[in-house]
Chain A
Amino acid sequence: MDILSSYLGQLLIGAAVTLQLAFTSLFFGLALGLLFAACKLSNHVYLRRPVEYFTNLLRGIPEFLIILICYFGLSNLINNHFDAAFEISPFAGGVFALSIVFAAYASEVFRGGFVAIPLGQIEAAKAFGLSRTQLFFYIQLPQAWRISLPSLGNMWQSLLKDTSLVSVVGLEDLLKKAGMAGQFSKQPFVFFMAVAVIYFLFLAISNPVFAYLEKQANRGYHQPRS
C-alpha cells in the first residue's frame, strides 16, 4: 500500500490525461456526429453516399487500428506529399481517431433521433411558415437530442474507457501509468485495482449528469419510465 500512495500523484496525472482525451473527443465527436447525421439525411446523393461509406468503414475497423493509422499513417502521408516535417502529437492523433470513431457511431444515433420525429410536425412547422433554420433549431434538434441522449450516455461510458487504447502511441493515460508503476514495483494488481476504482468513480459521477440532461430534455413530456 505504501507503493500505491507514492505513485498516487502519477495516477492522478494519468487520470487528468484520460479526462482530457475523453472530453476533447466527446466535443469533436458530437459535432462531427451531428454533421455526419445531417449528411446522411441529406437529399443529395453525393453528400449522403460518401458519408455512409465512410462511417461504415470507421465502424468496421478496430479502434486500435484507427489510432495507429491516424498517428503513424497520417503524418507519413502528409510528409510524403508536402515534403514538410508535419508533426501530429500523440494527443492530437489520439483525439482525432477517437473523435471520428465516436462521430461514426453518434451519426447513427442522431439519424435515428431525427427520423423518429413525426413527419406531421415538420409539415405543420412548414405550414406555419417556419424557415429551415427555425425548423431545425426549434423542432428537430431538441427532439432528436431528447431521443439520442440515452444512447449518447452509453457511448460516453465506452469512450471514457476506450481512451486507454491511445497509450500505444506514448500517451500516458490512467491505465498506462498503472502499467508503468506496476512494472517498476512488480505489484501490478495493486495498481490495476486502484485504476479500476478511479474509472468507476468517473462513471459514477457522469451518470447523474446524464440523468439531469435527460430531465432537462424531457421537459413538457411525461417523465420517462426507467
Chain B
Amino acid sequence: MIGEAVILLGCVLTLLAGIGVLRFDDVFERMHALTKASAAGLILVLIGAALLLPSINDVTTLALAAFLQVLTLPVAANLIASATYRAKDVPLRIDTVDELRDDEERSLEPGDRGPE
C-alpha cells in the first residue's frame, strides 16, 4: 500500500515534469522542469518498486538504475544547456546576469591565461 502510494506520487511528479516541458516558453526553463521533477519522480517510482518487489536481486537492480539516472541526468542537462547556449539559431532571453559570457570574455583578453 505504501509502495503503491509512493509509485503514484512519483508518476505524478513525472506528469508535472511533462506539464512543465509543455508549458514553459524557453529551452532552459523546460530543461529545468525536466531535470529536477523527473529525476525526483523516477527516484520515487523506483523506491516504491523496491518496497513492493520481494527479491533482493530486483532491489539491487533498481538501486543501480536510480544511481545511474541521478548520475547521468544532470550531466545530460548541462551538455544540452551549453550546446544550446553556443548554438547560433536559438534566441537567448538572458537579460541581466550572464556569468558564462562574462567568464568567456575575461578568458579571451590578451595576455590573460584564462580565469584564475
Q: Is the pairing of A and B real?
A: no
Residues of A within 8 A of B (CB): none
Residues of B within 8 A of A (CB): none
